[in-house]
Amino acid sequence: MSLTLLADPLGEARWRAAVRDLFTALADTLGTFYASAEVTRDNIWSGRSAWSDGQTERVVRTLRSLDGWMGLPPTPMWWSWFGSPYASVAELLPGNRRRSTLKGVFFESAPEPRPRDQLEPLSRWLPANLFAHIAPNPGHQQPVPLIRAAVVPKELS
């Protein structure tokens, strides 16, 4: 499941809180094991819808392939939500930016929306072997090709 939002309103605390509540409620309710939110630059807003072109920042669109779950995202995310089987390792994240939810752990990399190059990678705190890696991509293929994490929880293999 994905949702694209214009980031400008998220500069206001009340809108950010409402979207954060929706994000965590969906993750808690849908039986999710991992959810993320990221800010991408250079999308095009027509006044009615968002779209991208060759200038839009490239993103990892999916962490799932025909082979199954590829691992945690290789790029920093603004928000992350960890359910089982990742909730126990999420406890390694800094406590001042982490909070428990009904069925998982929510982590906020920054208090306001920031693009990935302004965020610390989760691998600073979590084991590096849990993360997928970006594969060589000389043709700028989309979605970005990934190399599976060295360790994928058995429930997700």
What would the pLDDT profile of 10-38 be if each residue is shown by its tens digit?
Answer: 889 999 999 999 999 999 999 899 999 98
Instruction: Specify which residues 82 forms β-bridges with.
Output: 34, 105
Strands 105-108 and 50-51, sheet pairing: unpaired
Asked if 3 contacts 40 with a C-beta cutoff of 8 angstroms, the reply is: no
Residue 91: half-sphere exposure toward Cβ, Cα within 13 Å:
5
Residue type, 57: E
139: enclosing H helix or E strand: none
Residue 6 has pLDDT above 80, yes or no: no
pTM of this structure: 0.87
Give the dihedral of Cα atoms 53, 56, 58, 60; nearest 10 deg: -80
Domains in the chain: boundaries: 8-156
Residue 133 has pLDDT above 70, yes or no: yes
20: enclosing H helix or E strand: helix 13-29
The confidence band for 131, taking pLDDT boundaries of 50, 70 and 90, is very high
CA dist 109 → 61, 66, 76, 130 (Å): 19, 30, 8, 18
Q: How much of the chain exceeds pLDDT 70, in percent?
A: 93
pLDDT value at position 91? 92
Q: What is the mean pLDDT of residues 82-95?
A: 93
pLDDT value at position 103? 95
